[in-house]
C-alpha cells in the first residue's frame, strides 16, 4: 500500500502542496485532476522521491520514500515516473530505447519483452526507427513502453497521452490500462482528460491550489460534484438553483419538453458530431444543454432535468 501522511512541499516560500494525506492499495489506479498549476505534477515528483518534503512522510509497503538528501540518485527503484519531456535517447532505435534497462544476459528474453511492450503501445512497426525521427506522439508511446520495461510496482504518469492523436489515443488507453490491471501495477495518473478519469480510474483526487478538496470514485465525483470547480473538470456544467437548492447540472442531464419552469432562449449552437451543444439564456444566467438537432438563435425552448417528473 502507498501511504502519504500530511505531506507538504514548497519550491519557495508559498506552499505548492499542503497537508496531502491519502493511501492507495496495490493494483489500483488513482487519477489526479485539477486546473493547471494545482500541484498534480509536483505531487507525482514528490511521491517518486525527486524532492525533499517540508513536512510529512511517504511509505510504500512500510518502506519510507526519501528524497535527494538521502539518495545520490533521486527516485525509488520500485517506481517509474513518466515525465512530460519523455527523455528518450535520440540516436538509438525505438527497440533499443525500450530495452535500455533490460539485462543483456538473456537476449531472447529481452527481445520478447521489448516486442510485448511495443505491441501494448502500438509501435511494433517502428522498432528499428531512431527516436529522433519520431513524432511527439510516437515518442510519448515509446516512453510509456520504456517505463514499463522493468515492470515497476508503482507507475506515475504525468499527462501520458497529451501528444497522442485522438484516433489512436482511445485504443492505446484501453490497452495500457488493461495491461496495468493485469499486472497489478499501482498507477497514479495526473491528467486533464476526463476520459482517463471516468473510464479507467478506480479513485479520483481533486486538487486545488495544492490541497485535496475531494476524493471518491469517478461515478460519485462526476454525479455529485462538490462545487462548480469540480464539475467543470469534466466539461461544461451549469450552476443553478432548483427548489431553493444549488445544483450542478451537466448539459446532457437536460431534456427539451413542451412546457416547464425552465424557459430558455437560444444564443448559439455548437456542432459536436452526435449532437449540438446549445448555449442559452435562462433569466440572467447562461445555461448549456444538449440537443439532437440544430436550433436557431432566438428560439425559445423549455427544459427539465431527465428522470424528473
In a domain, 199, yes or no: yes
In a domain, 27, yes or no: yes
Both 220 and 252 in one domain: the answer is no
CB 20, CB 4: distance < 8 Å: yes
Both 204 and 285 in one domain: the answer is no
Both 73 and 108 in one domain: the answer is yes
Both 78 and 18 in one domain: the answer is yes
Burial of 197 (0-12, 13-18, 19+ CB in 10 A): buried
Supply the CATH number for residue 12's domain.
Answer: 3.40.50.300
In a domain, 233, yes or no: no
Supply the CATH number for residue 259's domain.
Answer: 2.40.50.140
In a domain, 240, yes or no: no
Of 251, 157, 308, the closest CA to residue 282 belongs to 251
CB 178, CB 184: distance < 8 Å: no
Both 97 and 147 in one domain: the answer is yes
Q: Whole-angstrom Cα distance, residue 30 to residue 205?
A: 7
| Residue 71, domain extent | 2-228
As for how many domains the chain has, the answer is 2
Q: Whole-angstrom Cα distance, residue 99 to residue 94?
A: 9
Both 205 and 295 in one domain: the answer is no
In a domain, 279, yes or no: yes
Domain boundary residue among 169, 197, 228? Answer: 228
Residue-by-residue DSSP string for 107-122: HHHHHHHHHHHHHHTT
Both 128 and 271 in one domain: the answer is no
In a domain, 234, yes or no: no
In a domain, 236, yes or no: no
pLDDT attached to residue 101: 80
In a domain, 72, yes or no: yes
CA dihedral 102, 106, 107, 110 (to 10 degrees): -40
Mean pLDDT per 10-residue interval, the chain, length 309 residues: 93 90 95 92 94 93 88 83 84 91 85 91 92 90 90 92 86 91 94 87 94 95 93 92 90 92 93 94 93 93 86
Both 280 and 222 in one domain: the answer is no
pLDDT attached to residue 70: 87
Which residues are registered as beta bridge partners of 256? 303
Both 204 and 291 in one domain: the answer is no
Domain boundary residue among 228, 256, 279? Answer: 228
Both 139 and 167 in one domain: the answer is yes
Both 214 and 261 in one domain: the answer is no
CB 7, CB 58: distance < 8 Å: yes
Both 182 and 272 in one domain: the answer is no
The helix, strand and coil proportions of the chain, stated in percent and rounded to the nearest 5, come to 30, 35, 40
Amino acid at each position: 500500500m502507498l501511504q502519504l501522511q500530511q505531506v507538504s512541499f514548497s519550491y519557495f516560500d508559498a506552499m505548492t502542496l499542503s497537508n496531502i494525506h491519502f493511501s492507495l492499495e496495490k493494483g489500483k489506479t488513482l487519477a489526479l485532476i485539477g486546473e493547471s498549476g494545482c500541484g498534480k505534477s509536483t505531487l507525482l515528483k514528490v511521491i517518486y522521491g525527486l524532492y525533499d518534503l517540508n513536512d510529512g512522510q511517504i511509505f510504500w509497503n512500510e518502506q519510507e520514500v526519501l528524497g535527494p538528501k538521502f539518495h545520490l540518485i533521486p527516485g525509488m527503484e520500485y517506481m517509474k515516473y513518466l515525465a512530460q519531456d519523455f527523455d528518450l535517447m535520440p540516436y538509438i532505435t525505438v527497440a533499443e530505447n525500450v530495452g535500455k534497462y533490460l539485462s543483456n544476459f538473456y537476449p531472447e528474453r529481452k527481445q520478447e519483452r521489448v516486442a510485448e511492450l511495443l505491441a501494448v503501445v502500438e509501435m511494433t512497426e517502428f522498432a528499428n526507427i531512431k527516436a529522433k525521427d519520431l513524432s511527439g506522439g510516437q515518442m510519448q508511446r515509446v516512453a510509456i513502453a520504456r517505463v514499463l520495461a522493468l515492470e515497476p510496482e508503482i507507475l506515475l504518469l504525468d499527462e501520458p497521452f497529451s501528444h497522442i492523436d485522438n484516433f489512436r489515443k482511445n485504443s492505446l488507453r484501453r490497452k495500457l490500462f488493461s495491461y496495468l490491471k493485469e499486472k497489478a501495477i499501482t498507477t497514479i495518473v495526473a491528467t486533464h482528460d476526463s476520459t482517463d478519469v471516468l473510464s479507467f480510474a478506480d479513485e479520483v483526487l481533486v486538487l486545488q491550489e495544492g490541497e485535496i478538496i475531494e476524493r471518491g470514485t469517478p461515478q460519485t465525483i462526476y454525479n455529485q460534484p462538490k462545487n462548480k470547480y469540480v464539475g467543470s473538470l469534466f466539461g461544461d456544467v451549469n450552476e443553478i438553483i432548483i427548489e431553493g437548492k444549488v445544483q450542478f447540472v451537466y448539459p446532457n442531464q437536460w431534456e427539451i419538453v413542451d412546457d416547464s419552469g425552465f424557459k430558455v432562449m437560444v444564443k448559439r449552437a455548437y456542432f459536436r458530431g452526435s449532437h449540438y451543444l446549445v448555449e442559452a439564456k435562462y433569466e440572467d444566467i447562461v445555461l448549456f444543454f444538449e440537443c439532437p438537432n440544430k436550433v436557431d438563435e432566438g428560439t425559445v425552448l423549455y427544459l427539465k432535468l431527465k428522470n424528473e417528473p
